[in-house]
Structure 1
Amino acid sequence: MKKASYTAVFSAAAVVVLLLLAEAKVSVAVTCSPTQLSSCVSAITSSSPPSKLCCSKIKEQKPCLCQYLKNPNLKKFINTPNARKVASTCGTPFPKC
């Protein structure tokens, strides 16, 4: 192969790698901690709307909700109509576990 061919192949490979890196999504592990939802207590226990902090924490903890629902001590707080309403208001569908 000629030097120009090597350069073209290398350049094409570099472009493909850059495109793949641009499309790669970085996943961040969530630390499941029900205390992170403490900002939602007032919205769940009353009819007050959830705060922005509450909504961001629900979205952050969404991967953990099924785990929380399996815990009998947490299930009685999370599996309530108000908790479902808060999740819906925050734009986070309630999980089907």
Structure 2
Amino acid sequence: MGGSSYIAVCVVALLLAVLAQSQVGMAVTCAPTQLAPCATAISSASPPSKLCCTKIKQQRPCLCKYIKNPSLRNYVTSPNAKKVARICRVPIPKC
């Protein structure tokens, strides 16, 4: 293998390692309390705030976990919660 080919392989390997590390760093902590900014919108049908939309987008990987929890299910699957999710452009997953 030529010198420039070896360097290219090393650069690609380094980039893959950095990308893999950044994926690990972006792991979400599932905490339903993070959705507190959405409580008013979910309970009263008022429009969601920008903070609410940001939080629901961050918690998107956790929504199935919340749906499977009987204590939290209605906060994700109620008509108002679905409306908030739709306005925030976060699809409710089919779990």
TM-score by structure 2 length? 0.81
Deviation for aligned residue 1:65: 0.8
Deviation for aligned residue 1:41: 0.5
Q: Deviations over 1:29-56 (max 9, x none)?
A: 1111000000001001112110011001
TM-score by structure 1 length? 0.79
What residue in structure 1 maps to residue 4 of structure 2?
8
Q: AA paired with 2:35?
A: L
Q: Secondary structure at the match of 2:71?
A: helix
What residue in structure 2 maps to residue 76 of structure 1?
74
Give, in whole Å, the separation in 2 of the partners of 1:12 and 1:77.
Answer: 50
Unaligned runs of 5+ in 1: none
User: Which ranges of 4 or more aligned residues in structure 1 deviate by more than 3 Å?
Assistant: 14-22
Give, in whole Å, the separation in 1 of the partners of 2:77 and 2:4.
Answer: 59
Give, in whole Å, the separation in 2 of the partners of 1:71 and 1:8.
Answer: 55
Aligned length: 92
Give, in whole Å, the separation in 2 of the partners of 1:61 and 1:8.
Answer: 44
Q: Deviations over 1:9-37 (max 9, x none)?
A: 33332454466568x36321111100000
Map 1:1-97 onto structure 2 (within 5 A).
Answer: 6-17=2-13, 20=16, 24=19, 26-27=22-23, 28-97=26-95
Could you say what the CA RMSD is over the residues aligned between the two structures, in angstroms?
2.1
Unaligned runs of 5+ in 2: none
Give, in whole Å, the separation in 1 of the partners of 2:61 and 2:15.
Answer: 29
CA pair 6-71 structure 1, distance change in 2 beyond 3 A = same
